[in-house]
Chains A and B, each alone.
Chain A
Amino acid sequence: MDAVTSGSGGARAIAFTGTWREYLPIAATNVLLTIVTLGIYRFWATARQRRYLWSRTEVIGDRLEWSGTGKEMFVGFLIVMAILLPFFLFVQFLFPALIARGKETAAVGIFSLFYMGLIYLGGFARFRALRYRLSRTWWRGIRGGSDEPGWNYGGEYLGRMALTLMTLFIVWPWAATRLWNGRWNHMSFGPLAFRTNLDADGLKRRWAAVYLVPIAAMVVMMLLAIPVGASIVGGSEEASPGLMVLLGAVFLLFYLIIPLMTLHWYAKFYRKAADSLSLGGLEFGFDARTRDWLKLFLGNIALAVVTLGFGLAFWGYRNWSFMVRHMHLYGEVNVSDLTQSSTHAPGEAEGLADAFDIGAI
């Protein structure tokens, strides 16, 4: 048997076979042990969670395997802390010291440099987290990885982020797509390189909507607010319900309309991004729409609320199964070509990404 073909006979090439009943004991003991170790167990908890989720993910007839350990993630975290903590403490003292001496400009300068350093490390960490996850993911005894250490990516990330901030996020579709390419074009599985050439075509309109819909909403609200404003100027007692309406409108804008429009954009971004990705003869696809994402997030929140917080332990499970259920694989893998990865297996885990709390994709 030289090639396995995806999607033959109507079966999905990638499928999630886990059940919440099976995962419940893992989630429960993870929560228990994380509490009694004052949080230290969370690295081992993450490893157990991933071992389960990966092993219940079938890719073209074979299960994935996660080989990362809690110990290596913990050590990665310690290394990052040993580097970052003195830095944080130094800035924490330097900043008030400069303010107290009336050197506000120097203080602002130091802080800007500090934040630039943080953004650089954030980009570096995202790259390393992806590389680490691939290097610990096995399929048919073969793993992924990357030969790039990620330092260059950190620089690219800082530059594109700076440009994005300077243009008030207008160029974000271009920056985000280039950064996606910058990460994935350096990743590989076995001897096969991931290839992607994502561009901003078809993403610009949704990004414009992130700006325009809130503005339109604001105009509508302003028109509605004219009678309210009049009642406030009138100085009557009835002003307070009017003010409540106004506050409600602002709340709506910032907590509902803007996040929704951003989600609307990201839904398309991830569909396009996955479509652009290939690995050897395999093409990827992703079909989650905005309402699917919304259902996932609202479901997560509802679950956490009705279980008084315990449901948080199921967020990772729900997110992973969501990703797998919406992912597609097309094409075929020539198994005899798929030999072991020669990339270096990074040992320091994703401590950096953990420290900054950055997600996978």
Chain B
Amino acid sequence: MSRGIYYDGVTAERHEVSVAATDGTLSLTGSGISPIDVPASELQTMETEKDRTLLGRAGHPGWRLTLQQPIDPTVASLLPRPGRYGGFIDRVGLPRATAVLAGVAAVVLFVGYSAPAWLAPIVPESWERNLGTAIVGDFGDNACRSPAAARALEAMAARIEPDRGTRAPIPMTLIDVGIFNAAALPGGQVVIFDGALKETPNPDAMAGVLAHEIAHVRRRHVTQALIRELGIGALIRLFAGDIGANAQQIVSLNYTRANENEADADALVALQRASIDPRPTAALFTKLGKDSGGFDSVEWLNSHPRSADRAKRFAAAWKSNARYTPVLSAADYRAIRVTCPEKRRAEREAEKE
């Protein structure tokens, strides 16, 4: 015999009851209620504490029996064990569950961290091209175009990639935004901002930058970054972005340090193969490093390896016995650099009229 308090789940009336167990059935008797028999299979132990055990009954919401200590052993033997941590943790025990879960978590983290690198090559280039076109389009009014600049850019790219004609095309676009940057975008596009052209008088330095961005595209780093950001960063970036965003935001896909080192290595090989002097590119990095307090270089410094180290790496690739030739003639490079300023001038004049 045990004593308890019983609520029937229909009214809030409190009933003091005596509880007995016979043949797998719990029997409740008390004044003011007719005797109740509950099969042990319907019993649920909601909670066990020092001074009480709270029982529920399957299929009877609100049915509650609070058993007071001491509980008769025959009654206690009918009660199922209460859940504590939930689910399988109660079955296998906390220490084992923790070990198993920690192992699974480690695998998940490892796969999540490395997945972009091995998933990227599997993504068909055509998918990514469609996505890229959908995201950036043709840049509308932000692009600066001229036939002469297009020819000169093409010539520069052909020096960097001799087999360019046989591979997937990499469209290159000049963007009329005054930030010191160039970027590889989803869909295998490369953009060069007017600010970078303005600050880079030497075509060989621009060739180093272009080679670096082309390497990002060929190595599918853009795809890796997309997978990484879609997987983890999508929500964060959505809230972090503000409406006054400019072109800089479109190109703020982040590459890993490893990606950047790989792209630099590829760029060095390409410059070597094309007999382009790597020192102007080194000088460009030195300049970026000195400007590190400057606003425009912040982006570069965050996502790229330390500029000074990169400058050293490019400078060290210079060979005294090699014969270097400029990537473009001064006139051809000028055709690229003047495209955006001329577009602006034409727009100003159109406004005046």
One of A91-99, A156-164, A212-220 at the interface = A91-99
CB <8 Å contact, B140 and A100: yes
A75 to chain B, nearest CB (A): 13
Those of B132-168 within 8 Å (CB) of chain A:
134-142
Tell me if A143 counts as interface (CB < 8 A to partner B). yes
Top 9 A-B pairs ranked by shortest CB distance? Answer: A141-B7, A102-B140, A338-B12, A141-B62, A140-B12, A36-B101, A36-B102, A44-B86, A141-B9
- The answer to whether B101 touches A37, judged by C-beta atoms less than 8 angstroms apart, is yes
Q: Considering the complex, which residues of chain B in the window 276-307 have a beta carbon less than 8 Å from any beta carbon of chain A? A: none
Q: Which of A48, A89, A99 has a CB less than 8 Å from the CB of B234?
A: A89
B249: Cβ under 8 A from any A Cβ: yes
- Among A32, A51, A88, A140, the residue within 8 A (CB) of B7 is A140
Q: Are A99 and B86 in contact (CB under 8 A)?
A: no
In the bound complex, do residue B105 and residue A37 qualify as a contact, i.e. CB atoms below 8 Å apart?
A: yes
The reply to whether B9 and A70 form a contact with Cβ atoms under 8 Å apart is: no
Q: Which bracket fits the contact residues of B? A: 35 or more
Contact, CB under 8 Å: B11 / A99: no
Which residues of chain A come closer than 8 Å to B87, judged between CB atoms?
Answer: 44, 71
CB atoms of B12 and A190 under 8 A apart: yes
Residues in A whose Cβ lies below 8 Å from that of B47: 51, 55
16 example contacts (A-B, Cβ-Cβ < 8 A) are as follows A1-B13, A44-B85, A44-B87, A65-B46, A88-B238, A91-B238, A96-B135, A100-B139, A100-B247, A101-B139, A107-B243, A141-B64, A142-B11, A339-B11, A340-B61, A340-B62
Min CB distance, B238 to chain A, in Å? Answer: 5
Which residues of chain B in 79-102 are interfacial with respect to chain A, using CB atoms and an 8 Å cutoff?
85-87, 89, 94, 97-98, 101-102
Most buried by A among B13, B97, B138, B230: B13
A130 to B230, CA, bound (A): 33
Complex: chain A residue closest to B131, CB-CB: A93
Let me know if A97 and B11 touch, CB within 8 A: no
Known: A29-B94, A38-B108, A65-B46. A96 touches B250 (CB 8 A): yes
Contacts of A228 in B (CB 8 A): none
Task: Output the residue of A48, A51, A141, A190 with the most chain B CB within 10 A.
Answer: A141
* Contact of B11 (CB < 8 Å), options: A101, A107, A138, A338: A338
Contacting pair B98 A36 (CB below 8 A): yes
A209 within 8 A of B: no
User: Residues 24-48 of chain A: 1 if any B CB is under 8 Å from the residue's CB, otherwise 0?
Assistant: 0000010011001110000010011
In the complex, the answer to whether B13 meets A335 with C-beta atoms within 8 Å is: yes
Interface size class of A (residues with CB under 8 A): 35 or more
- Measured CB to CB, the residues of A under 8 A from B are 1, 29, 32-33, 36-38, 44, 47-48, 51, 55, 62, 65, 69-71, 88-89, 91-93, 95-97, 99-102, 107-108, 111, 138-143, 190, 333, 335-336, 338-340, 345
Known: A91-B238, A138-B62, A141-B63. A101 touches B140 (CB 8 A): yes
Residue in chain A with minimal CB distance to B97: A33
CB neighbours (8 Å) of B140 from chain A are: 100-102
Q: Which residues of A contact B86 (CB under 8 A)?
A: 44, 47-48, 69-71
Given known A-B contacts A96-B249, A138-B62, A102 and B142 have beta carbons under 8 A apart: yes
Query: Inside 8 A of A111's CB, which chain B residues have their CB?
Result: 243
* A114: nearest chain-B partner, CB-CB: B238
- CB within 8 A of A89: which of B97, B230, B241, B247? B230
In the complex where A33-B98, A93-B135, A97-B134 touch, is A141 in contact with B89 (Cβ < 8 A)? Answer: no
The answer to whether B243 touches A108, judged by C-beta atoms less than 8 angstroms apart, is: yes
Q: Does B322 contact A (CB under 8 A)?
A: no
On chain A, the residues within 8 Å of B249 by CB distance are 96, 99
In chain A, what residue has the closest Cβ to B86?
A44
Q: Evaluate contact between B137 and A100: CB separation under 8 angstroms.
A: yes
Question: What is the CA–CA distance of A235 and B98 in the complex, to the nearest angstrom?
Answer: 63
Chain B residue numbers with a CB within 8 Å of A37 are: 101, 105
Complex: how many Å from CA A141 to CA B11?
8
Q: Find chain A residues with CB under 8 A from B63 CB.
A: 141
How many Å lie between the Cα of A335 and that of B14 in the bound state? 9
CB distance from A71 to the nearest CB of B (A): 7
Instruction: Check if B98 sits within 8 Å of A32, measured CB to CB.
Output: yes
Contacts of A333 in B (CB 8 A): 12
Known pairs A33-B101, A96-B245, A140-B14. 7 more at Cβ < 8 A?
A36-B105, A91-B238, A99-B249, A101-B137, A101-B140, A138-B64, A141-B62
Smallest Cβ distance from B231 to chain A, in angstroms?
Answer: 11
Residue of A nearest to B101 (CB): A36
Residues of B within 8 A of A340 (CB): 9-11, 61-62
Tell me the minimal C-beta distance from B65 to chain A in angstroms: 10
A92, A102, A336, A345 interface centre (most CB from chain B within 10 Å): A92
